[in-house]
Amino acid sequence: MKRVVLDAMGSDKAPCVEVRGALRAIGRRKDLQLFLVGNKSLIEKEFKRIKFRGKVPFEIIHTDEKIDMHEKASLALKKKRSSIALGLSMVKEGEADAFVSAGNTGAIMAFSLSLLGRIKGVRRPAIGVMIPTLMGTALLLDVGANAQVKPQDLVQFAVMGSLFVQYVKGVELPRVGLLSIGEEEGKGNPLVIEAKSLLGERKDLNFIGFVEGNHILEGRAEVVVTDGFTGNVVLKFGEGSLGLIKNLLTAEIKRNPFALMGYILLRPTFISLKKKFDYEEYGGAPLLGVNGVVLISHGRSTPKAIMNAVMTALDFAEKDVNRHIEEKFLKQ
């Protein structure tokens, strides 16, 4: 039985979505032992709101201390009884196999490093996000943990990302692309040019060279590597673009009766597309490189997203990805 601890105070609508997402996860996996960390009275009040009957199927770890979404990590680290700190402490002490939170990313990073530490051989952890593509999905990393990196960091991101996609997503030999401004030799800044040279020497990676921004959605690689600053910009631009397309379509459908008729006919197609590009389907972003299983979910997460984050955390833990990462770096 795998044990997952869920930060019940993380999301924008906590603990509503966490409670509902936890119940969905329990319904999906009967062998799951789930802990909710947060304000017990608020959590119990949520059970009353949804008129839940019977015994609560998970343990509640009470704390009334929480970290606000925009709180600086340096200040957040002082909150030793926060839901993030207590949840990660449970992973550190072996009381849980994974931690999931839709809370403050900086605080999760800071507490993960201070409590769990890095996997042996890892220079810097990285946050990876699954992005839908024409060929399936791609893991983009880093998307915010490291604004400035060295070439060897990008190599390590490639190794960790490749192992995650291989074991969790079941891709036998994931293609690894290095994000740059062109495919040609010598394109890009000194960072990516040197990183490309180092990646080209790796016999344990299916490295395909440079990929451009438009290549990500084409699905040219299952793992796309970049620094945290660039990755975060790409991620936010993608989220904004999808929102813009949705709003433009909605406005056009309301304005044009013929467009409405077309929408009705194509509604199943739009539903299928929405599912493919919906962050809810991917749940959370793995924090790769720390000595424990950590999933970071979007602050706007829904119950479905929380459930999927818990499912991904289970896969992460059951496939023992961190052990594979450590073994890979210890061999070097």
Whether the CB-CB separation of 167 and 319 falls below 8 Å is answered with: yes
Q: What is the pLDDT along the chain (332 residues), one digit of tens a residue?
A: 789 999 999 999 989 999 999 999 998 888 899 999 999 999 999 988 887 777 778 899 999 998 998 889 888 899 999 999 999 999 999 999 999 999 999 999 999 999 999 999 999 999 999 988 888 889 999 999 999 999 999 999 999 999 999 999 999 999 999 999 988 877 888 999 999 999 999 999 999 999 999 899 899 999 999 999 999 998 888 777 666 767 777 777 777 776 666 666 656 655 665 555 555 666 789 999 999 999 999 888 899 999 999 999 999 999 999 999 999 998 76
In a domain, 118, yes or no: yes
In a domain, 40, yes or no: yes
Direct distance between the N- and C-terminal alpha carbons of the chain, in angstroms, rounded to an integer: 33
| Nearest CA among 212, 154, 208 for reference residue 188 | 212
List the domain range (segments joined by +) for residue 112: 1-122+289-319
Count of domains observed in the chain:
1
Q: For the domain that residue 28 is a member of, what is the CATH number?
A: 3.40.718.10
Coarse DSSP helix, strand, coil percentages of the chain, rounded to the nearest 5 percent:
50, 20, 30
In a domain, 76, yes or no: yes
Note the pTM of the prediction, 2 decimals.
0.89
One-letter amino acid at 1 equals: M
Dihedral sign for Cα 262, 263, 264, 266, please: positive
- Rounded Cα distance between 125 and 61, Å, is 28
- Rounded Cα distance between 328 and 324, Å, is 6
Strands 284-288 vs 126-133: parallel, antiparallel or unpaired? antiparallel
